[in-house]
């Protein structure tokens, strides 16, 4: 994902649609879509919950213990943020939805603190 960037004008269209997350957050979600599709036997439409879980997995793989902090730096602190990003990408024509899809499909898929902290088993370090 580190080499990804938007073509000229795309981030301006995202900003015009009210996109307020760091540009890397939009690129990250697109990379997570590709990652998830690569995990499937056959490309298909994915649900909001599936994509939210894929975002978590990609973040942990790419950023390790810093995953939650990196996402927060980009303005992403809940699964609802992934939904807002997805629907902004839909608005600018980079992703598509199917009838019945809703931004609310991303609501409270998991708790960020629990999801990113539980990705690692701590041995000998007491939880605070």
| Residue 55 located in a structural domain | yes
| Residue 56 located in a structural domain | yes
| Residue 1 located in a structural domain | no
In order of 5, 18, 31, 39, 63, the CA distances from 2 in angstroms are 8, 24, 10, 20, 11
Q: Which pLDDT score is estimated for 12?
A: 82
Q: Shortest CA distance to 26 belongs to which of 73, 79, 89, 68? A: 89
pLDDT at 9 exceeding the cut of 60 = yes
Q: Shortest CA distance to 33 belongs to which of 23, 24, 43? A: 43
pLDDT digits (tens, 9 = 90+) for 87-127: 999 999 999 999 999 999 999 999 998 898 875 655 555 55
pLDDT digits (tens, 9 = 90+) for 55-69: 999 999 999 989 999
Q: Which pLDDT score is estimated for 101?
A: 96
Query: pTM of the full predicted structure?
Result: 0.86
pLDDT digits (tens, 9 = 90+) for 12-51: 888 888 878 999 999 999 999 999 999 999 999 999 999 9
Q: Which pLDDT score is estimated for 18?
A: 80
| Residue 109 located in a structural domain | yes
| Domains identified in the chain, total number | 1
Say how far apart CA 71 and CA 98 lie, in whole Å.
Answer: 27
| Residue 79 located in a structural domain | yes
Say how far apart CA 14 and CA 86 lie, in whole Å.
Answer: 11
Question: Which are the contacts of 119, defined by CB distance < 8 A and separation ≥ 6?
Answer: 56, 60, 67
Distance of alpha carbon 44 from the chain centroid: 18
Q: Which pLDDT score is estimated for 73?
A: 97
The domain in which residue 62 lies consists of: 10-14+22-94+102-117
| Residue 27 located in a structural domain | yes
| Residue 125 located in a structural domain | no
Q: Which pLDDT score is estimated for 60?
A: 93
| Residue 127 located in a structural domain | no
């Amino acid at each position: 994902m580190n080499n990804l960037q938007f073509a000229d004008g795309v981030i301006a269209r995202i900003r015009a649609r009210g996109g307020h997350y760091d540009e890397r957050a939009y690129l990250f979600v697109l990379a997570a879509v590709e990652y998830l599709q690569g995990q499937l036997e056959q490309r298909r439409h994915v649900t909001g919950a599936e994509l939210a879980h894929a975002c978590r997995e990609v973040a942990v793989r790419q950023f390790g213990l810093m995953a939650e902090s990196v996402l927060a730096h980009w303005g992403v602190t809940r699964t609802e943020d992934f939904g807002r990003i997805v629907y902004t990408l839909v608005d600018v024509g980079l992703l598509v939805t199917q009838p019945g899809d809703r931004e609310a499909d991303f609501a409270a898929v998991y708790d960020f603190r629990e999801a990113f902290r539980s990705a690692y088993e701590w041995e000998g370090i007491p939880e605070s």
